[in-house]
Structure 1
Amino acid sequence: MPYLPAGFPDGAWLPDVVVELGEQFAAHGFELSLVGGPVRDLFLGRTSPDLDFTTDATPDEIIATVHGWADAHWDIGRDFGTIGIRRGDDTIEVTTYRAEAYDLTSRKPQVHFGRDLGDDLVRRDFTVNAMALRLPSLELVDPHGGVRDLVAKRLRTPATAEESFSDDPLRMMRAARFASQLGLEVTDDVREAMTAMSARLEIVSAERVREELVKLICGQYPRRGVDLLVETGLADVVLPEIPALRLTDDEHRRHKDVYQHSLQVLEQAADLETDAEGPVPGPDFVLRFAALMHDVGKPKTRRFESGGGVSFRHHDVVGAKLTRKRMQALRFDKESIRAVSRLVELHMRFYGYGEAGWTDSAVRRYVTDAGDQLERLHRLTRSDVTTRNRRKAARLDHAYDDLEERIAVLAEQEELAKIRPHLDGEQIMAVLDVPPGPTVGKAYRFLLDHRMEHGPIPEDDAVELLRSWWSEQAT
């Protein structure tokens, strides 16, 4: 049965495997402690999905200790002292006491194994993660006041902040991530070190930075995390497009700068996420990141008009290109890049609907262009309304309600998500008696445009329409 360590809040429990593994190591004469995030989460009244352990045993000794007890093990992290273990449904990692440090030019940490739990804890990133539970006794080891800091919602480093961030510059990103996930405030010395050492983040691989960024954006308080990145200069390294927004007034002067507007859109988009059964289960990185990046094209497209106003024509298209380039630099997968950049490109498409109204053709194109991002586009567009003018906000909200209703009606009538030309390629070649080639492509696009403009028509009418178009091409 699960264990509830003494002194922890209700809801904090440990699976059987934790104590069983401690007993296994003790029987072989080795120390073992649950460490880091899982211990922190116990104080937050929740169970961590990850089980991380530290020990004085070397990787070879770890393997020998769990031999016959574990169902499987793997040593892909052996160079860093980590051995993966599976027992039943539990997957855990055991790491030899260690210390890591970067030199000034390397992207890879230098690893040194140790034999003392205290030395291991002092090298960890923050005090709230520098706590351990000795096993199997469940004795709490908290030499740096992690519990006090967690209660005070304070983020400190066990060693000096400069030493900690020099050992691993990615920890500066983690500070912003914990501000987002846990609502923690960094101490003055941590903030000062992050600001002074922000350029050191450049030596960390894009993949590691990306993973921290995703966790930050998906946190409970993403605005806090982004703000900390910008205020310390880390965003100049990771997302330079975001601090650039602080220099750009929006065209309606509703905000001090577009930066604050973008943070508000990010928060509002997160509020519109659904539960697991809905179309956009939260936290949804694609929606949130598109909300943050949706206006990054404005600095490059800002123009001062003769009447004293400011315009940002085509900032949606420019922003999509900048977003795609930034996500490629951070080594995001192609699907995420496609989805986020598409949302950024389409986020202005709705505007004008309320005043001018849209034809059925325009509604079809809106749905078709959004494709599988339609539900996210609905939420991004609604989130982009941050005006303090209640009448205008209500008008835009009602207009989008109307658009969604029209989409629903057309979708029921025409299967909007599956819009295709009246005839497929094989039918086109048969009607025109032509082989595969450019002509078929032109005919396909003509029929698709007609479908968008006029809706579905019977197949016989489509054949006559195609023949008429073809005769015009020959003249």
Structure 2
Amino acid sequence: MNFSAQLGHNSIIRLVQESAADLGLETYLIGGYVRDLLLKRDSKDLDFVCVGSGISLAMQVAEKAGLKGKVTIFKHFGTAMVHIDGLDVEFVGARRESYRSDSRKPLVEDGTLEDDQNRRDFTINALAISMNSANFGELIDPFGGVEDLRKKIIRTPLDADITFSDDPLRMMRAVRFASQLGFDIEPDTFEAIKRNAERLKIISQERTTEELNKIILSQTPSYGFKLLFHSDLLHQFFPEMVALQGVDTINGNTHKDNFYHTLQVLDNVAKVSSDLWLRWAAILHDIAKPPTKRYDPKVGWTFHGHEDKGARMVPSLFRRLKLPLNEPMRFVQNLVRMHLRPIALVKDVVTDAAIRRVLFEAGEDIDALMQLCRADITSKDHSRVSRYLTNFDRVEAKMKEVEERDQLRNFQPPISGEDIMGYFQLKPGKEVGEIKEAIREAIIEGIIPNEREKAFQLMIQVGQQKGLVFNSNYDEKK
């Protein structure tokens, strides 16, 4: 199989071919770009392996491209990268690897193309195309990677137990590729993942989470999570999610399997949004159901307060999983805390006050919250789902009406704490908070409009009821 016609017009590949010829280096395009070429998928990065110094080849390519001095070198690994025309082009010298049992960092020696293909994680990533003039464009496929692409399977080139024991992160990568490509993991390879799952503990949480996020961002992330669960990989780093799985029955009363419900919600979100943090909110929205699960003979299974407890769990989970502890965490925490609120509006008579309260508390997250709540409607009863979604349409229309009228998107109280302290000569404290709360509640309940003048009058009234004294030197215009 020869790809010279497809690759001959690629300016970067021509540049690498010329540079390799200048240095007399046997060179091959390898890995993901070759795989994606065969799958007719776009690929952002190009990886080249040469029998010799990958760093020297990178520097030669950079010089020819007018990028001299702009080579990123990883000397310890013998690799180098050049950013050309928006693409990351990486170069490595062919090598053979050996591993210690307590580390995924290999002992590296110079090697041949065959050695380099042997060390690759999967057959579909061991495919190489020659950049050499004698056989330019020729595909080198020693492990049947083309056939595995045809069969849509993930398989290791050599003994899977050795492959995964040497570098346990490859197990997460197997699931990630299966999830991204919609492939199956070959049975013997999957059994090796199960046997070696506990080896994942030697991998840093940052690297594990990096692969996990790529699974979450795949088109149907539930598939990846099912593979993680059944391989026991999920148990190694996310026991709280594992605890969602299972169904209990007492006196004929059964609750839904919250693990598979969560995966359905995640897939529903994935259909409408590629936002990683909205998908994390879907994953965590019911995370506190196991610790809040109770059986009440009168009403059956309950999970009272799981939304509040779940929100309290978010920071510790983000910290342990090495996820960002700033705005993304706040966003996820807010959605977990509020995910039942719009659903309650569907069930109840929709009052303006109830709408205002949700709009106020959700703030800029309201659109994402509504996407999550729609995704959370899962049932085998299609008419029930349809009925709920129709009710949501009505609630969202009402939200739009109230929001436009009362200007509650990103609500900021028309009276600030500084106003209250200045008018009544107060220092920061309980009374200031109580007045602000009274104004907020009055706006939410529709007692006063969301306007400064009316809010200022209410501030004076509440302050007088508390016996506060007016500051005669107060200038409202300041």
Measured after TM superposition, the shift of residue 248 of structure 1 is: 4.0
The alignment status of 1:421 with 2:416, answered yes or no, reads no
2:121 pairs with 1:121: no
- What corresponds to 2:289 in structure 1? 298
After superposition, give the CA deviation of every residue in 1:110-148 in whole Å (9 maximum; x if it has no partner).
Answer: 240323111101111110101011115122111111110
What is aligned with 1:462?
A: 455
Which residue of the partner structure matches residue 276 of structure 1?
none
Q: Where does residue 34 of structure 1 map in the other structure?
A: 29
Would the aligned equivalents of 2:23 and 2:57 in 1 still touch at CA under 8 Å?
no
User: Residue 399 of structure 2 corresponds to which residue in structure 1?
Assistant: 407
Which residue does the alignment assign to 2:319? 328
Query: Aligned partners of 2:62 and 2:345: how far apart in 1?
Result: 67
User: Whole-Å Cα distance in 2 between the matches of residues 201 and 213 of structure 1?
Assistant: 13
For residues 25 and 13 of structure 1, the distance between their equivalents in structure 2, rounded to whole angstroms, comes to 15
Give the corresponding residue for 2:352: 360
Distance 1:13 1:47 in 2: 17
Q: Who is 1:197 aligned against?
A: 196
Shift of 1:56: 2.0
Residue 101 to residue 460, structure 1, CA distance change in 2 (3 Å): same
**How far apart are residue 259 of structure 1 and its match?**
1.6
Counterpart AA for 2:37: L
SS in 2 for 1:125: coil
Q: Name the SS for the 2:286 alignment partner.
A: coil
Residue equivalent to 1:62: 57
Question: Which residue of 3, 6, 13 corresponds with 1:5?
Answer: 3
1:294-346, CA deviations, whole angstroms, 9 ceiling, x for partnerless residues?
22211111101123711111111222333432222121112222222322222
- Counterpart amino acid of residue 420 in structure 2: I
Aligned equivalent of 2:335 = 343
Tell me if the contact between 1:420 and 1:448 (Cα under 8 Å) persists in the aligned partners.
no
Written as runs of structure 1 = structure 2, the 5 A alignment for 1:146-225 is: 146-225=145-224
Give matches, 1:275-290, under 5 Å: 283-290=274-281
Structure 2: how far apart are the matches of 1:265 and 1:211? 22
Structure 1 residue identity aligned to 2:139: L
Matches within 5 A, 1:244-323: 244-249=243-248, 257-273=257-273, 283-307=274-298, 309-323=300-314
Q: How many residues align?
A: 459
Decide whether aligned partners of structure 1 residues 210 and 457 sit closer, same or farther in structure 2, where only a CA change above 3 A counts.
closer
Instruction: Mark the runs of 5 or more structure 1 residues left unpaired by the alignment.
Output: 274-282
Give how far 1:254 is off.
8.1
Residues 368-404 of structure 1, C-alpha deviation per residue, up to 9 Å, x if partnerless?
3223322221111111111223343233112211111
Return 364-373 or 434-443, whichever deviates more: 434-443
8 Å Cα contact 1:38/1:50 also seen in 2? yes
Identify the match of residue 40 of structure 2 among 40, 45, 48: 45
- The whole-number CA distance in structure 2 between the counterparts of 1:427 and 1:6 is 74
Q: Does the alignment pair 1:431 with 2:429?
A: no
Instruction: Give, as a single letter, the amino acid of the residue that structure 2 aligns with 1:456.
Output: P
Structure 2: which amino acid aligns with 1:194? I
Q: Give SS of 2:228's match.
A: helix
> Which residue does 2:131 correspond to in 1?
135
For 1:37, the aligned partner's letter is G
Q: Does the residue aligned with 1:189 lie in a helix, a strand or coil? A: helix
Deviation of the 1:178 alpha carbon: 1.2
Q: Residue 383 and residue 205 in structure 1: after superposition, are their counterparts in 2 closer, same or farther (change >3 A)?
A: same
Q: Deviations over 1:24-51 (max 9, x none)?
A: 0121011221111111000111220111
Q: Is 2:10 the counterpart of 1:15?
A: yes
Q: Which has the larger radius of gyration?
A: 2
Report the residue type matching 2:465 in the other structure: E
State the alpha-carbon separation in 2 of the partners of residues 250 and 171 from structure 1.
39
CA distance in 2, matches of 1:285, 1:250: 35
Distance 1:141 1:418, change over 3 A: same
Return the offset for 1:150. Answer: 0.5
| Map of 2:464 onto structure 1 | 471
> d(CA) in 2 for partners of 1:254 and 1:148?
45
CA distance in 1, matches of 2:55, 2:41: 33
1:74 aligns with 2:71: yes
User: Could you tell which deviates more after superposition, 395-404 or 283-292?
Assistant: 283-292
Distance 1:378 1:206 in 2: 31
What is the rounded CA distance, in whole Å, between the counterparts of 1:473 and 1:139 in structure 2? Answer: 86
Q: Distance in 2 between matches of 1:13 and 1:48?
A: 17
Rounded Cα–Cα distance in structure 2 between residues aligned with 1:14 and 1:446: 70
Q: Distance in 1 between matches of 2:313 and 2:182?
A: 30
Give distance in 1, aligned partners of 2:222 and 2:60: 45
2:381 is aligned, of 381, 386, 389, to: 389
Amino acid at match of 2:449: P
SS at match of 1:105: coil
- Report the Cα distance in structure 1 between the residues aligned to 2:98 and 2:278, rounded to whole angstroms: 36
Q: Which moved more, 1:327-336 or 1:34-43?
A: 327-336
Change (3 A) 1:15 1:370: farther
Matched, 1:25 2:17: no
User: Are the counterparts in 2 of residues 73 and 85 from structure 1 also a CA contact under 8 Å?
Assistant: yes
Residues in 2 aligned to 1:88 and 1:387: alpha-carbon distance in whole angstroms? 48
SS in 2 for 1:270: helix
Mean CA deviation greater in 406-415 or 33-42: 406-415
Q: Is contact 2:178-2:224 (8 Å) kept?
A: yes
Query: Is the contact made by 1:56 and 1:97 (CA closer than 8 Å) also made in structure 2?
Result: yes
The secondary structure found in structure 1 opposite 2:340 is: coil
Root-mean-square deviation (CA), in Å? 2.6
* Worse overlay, 96-105 or 16-25: 96-105
Identity %: 35
Separation in 1 of the partners of 2:112 and 2:59?
Answer: 20
TM-score (norm: length of structure 2): 0.89
Q: Residues 59 and 355 of structure 1: is their aligned pair in 2 closer, same or farther, counting only changes over 3 Å?
A: closer
Give 1:369-388 correspondences, 5 Å limit.
Answer: 369-388=361-380
Query: Using the alignment, how far apart are the partners of 1:253 and 1:154 within structure 2?
Result: 41
Counterpart-to-counterpart distance in 2, 1:270 and 1:67:
40
Q: Which residue number in structure 1 is paired with residue 93 of structure 2?
A: 96
Q: What SS does the aligned partner of 1:464 have?
A: helix
Native 8 Å contact 1:100 1:167 kept in 2: no
CA distance in 2, matches of 1:295, 1:109: 37
Give the match for residue 105 of structure 1: 102
